């Protein structure tokens, strides 16, 4: 069996952070690399993508959940853009009436940046993700989550294994029911755990969730492993150690 492997390149939400309090869990914003056979699929392009060294001979795809800065700000620094022999396919939904290319052109252009995406040697093609499509042997399913301006949830299935990436997701009841069905029996769920339950009271409507809500969905959906993502910029390594301790008694296998 060929490998189906996830690498966390950045799991910080909202803004990148650095310093001694963030040395274990890191401070780069949303980016995950999935290797599935010959496919190299990036989930979001936050500052985590800056640390990505593209693999040899793989086909590169970037699946963007939405276009908030913390999910796209690493794109101009993606090493694969400097290689003219590596085409890159980017999938993103239309947001605020803009096609993905139009939206990226607003960000990666003067005066914010001195180059446009087409200035880079790599040939980049933008696509609107249908509800279901394939990237080689990887099946991709999509679902819209609950987030200001929208955010796409992706499910990747390869050789009978599946992972679901649900970031920038707020646990509104209808959205939770839809995600529970969507993530049913998946092997790994990446879930937005930006806030603690106490913090959430101050940040209702910001489009993020809590570890407790993730655990509820994971249990209902019979998810095998749960990985919390999109952590608040103020969450220190010490806080993570405490959370790990607090969630150790839960059945589901939980990773922070």
Give how many residues touch Zn ion by CB under 5 A: 4
Nearer to Zn ion, 70 or 213 (CB): 70
Nearer to Zn ion, 39 or 70 (CB): 70
Nearer to Zn ion, 40 or 70 (CB): 70
User: Which of the stretches 135-143, 165-173, 187-195, 240-248 binds Zn ion when contact is defined by CB under 5 A?
Assistant: 165-173
Nearer to Zn ion, 13 or 48 (CB): 13
Q: Considering the complex, what minimum distance in angstroms separates the CB of residue 167 from Zn ion? A: 6
Q: Considering the complex, what minimum distance in angstroms separates the CB of residue 136 from Zn ion? A: 28
Structure-token pair, residue 249: 């008694």
Phi-psi region at 75: left, alpha or beta (left = phi > 0; alpha = psi -120 to 50): alpha
Nearer to Zn ion, 46 or 54 (CB): 46
Angle between helices 211-220 and 237-247 in degrees, nearest 10? 40
Under the binding rule (CB under 5 A), the answer on residue 170 touching Zn ion is no
String of contacts with Zn ion for each residue 12-31, x by CB under 5 A: -x------------------
Candidate residues 39, 40, 70, 213; the one interacting with Zn ion per rule CB under 5 A = 70
* Residues of span 111-150 touching Zn ion by CB under 5 A: none
Candidate residues 12, 33, 68, 235; the one interacting with Zn ion per rule CB under 5 A = 68
Nearer to Zn ion, 187 or 199 (CB): 199
User: What is the per-residue DSSP string for the chain?
Assistant: ---EEEEEEE-B-SS---SGGGTTT---BSEEEEEETTEEEEE--SGGGGG--PPTTPEEEEE-S---HHHHTTGGG-GGGG-TT--EEEE---BTTB-HHHHHHHHSSTTT-SS-GGGSSS-EEEE---SEEEETTEEEEEEE-SSTT--EEEEEEETTEEEEEE-S----HHHHHHHHHHTTT-SEEEEE--S-HHHHTTSTTSS---HHHHHHHHHHTT-SEEEEESB-TT--HHHHHHHHHHHTTSSSEEE-
User: Which of the stretches 20-28, 50-58, 121-129, 161-169 binds Zn ion when contact is defined by CB under 5 A?
Assistant: 161-169
Candidate residues 39, 40, 44, 168; the one interacting with Zn ion per rule CB under 5 A = 168
The site for Zn ion (CB under 5 A) is made up of: 13, 68, 70, 168
């Amino acid at each position: 069996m060929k490998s189906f492997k996830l690498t966390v390149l950045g799991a910080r939400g909202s803004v990148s952070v650095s310093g001694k309090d963030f040395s274990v869990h890191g401070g780069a914003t949303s980016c995950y690399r999935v290797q599935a056979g010959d496919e190299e699929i990036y989930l979001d392009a936050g500052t985590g993508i800056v640390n990505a060294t593209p693999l040899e001979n793989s086909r590169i795809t970037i699946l963007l959940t939405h276009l908030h800065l913390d999910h796209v700000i690493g794109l101009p620094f993606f090493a694969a853009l400097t290689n003219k022999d590596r085409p890159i396919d980017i999938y993103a939904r239309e947001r605020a009436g803009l096609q993905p290319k139009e939206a990226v052109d607003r960000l990666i252009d003067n005066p914010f940046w001195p180059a446009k995406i087409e200035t880079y040697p790599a040939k980049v093609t933008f696509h609107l993700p249908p509800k279901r499509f394939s990237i080689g042997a990887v099946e991709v399913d999509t679902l819209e989550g609950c987030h200001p301006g929208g955010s796409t949830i992706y499910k990747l299935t390869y050789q009978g294994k599946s992972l679901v990436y649900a970031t920038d997701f707020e646990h509104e009841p209808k959205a939770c029911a839809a995600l529970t069905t969507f993530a049913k029996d998946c092997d790994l769920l990446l879930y937005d755990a930006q806030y603690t339950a106490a913090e959430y009271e101050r940040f209702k409507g910001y489009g993020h969730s809590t570890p407790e809500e993730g655990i509820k969905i994971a249990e209902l959906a019979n998810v095998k492993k749960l990985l919390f993502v999109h952590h608040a910029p103020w969450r220190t390594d010490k806080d993570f150690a405490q959370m790990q301790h607090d969630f150790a008694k839960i059945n589901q296998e939980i990773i922070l």
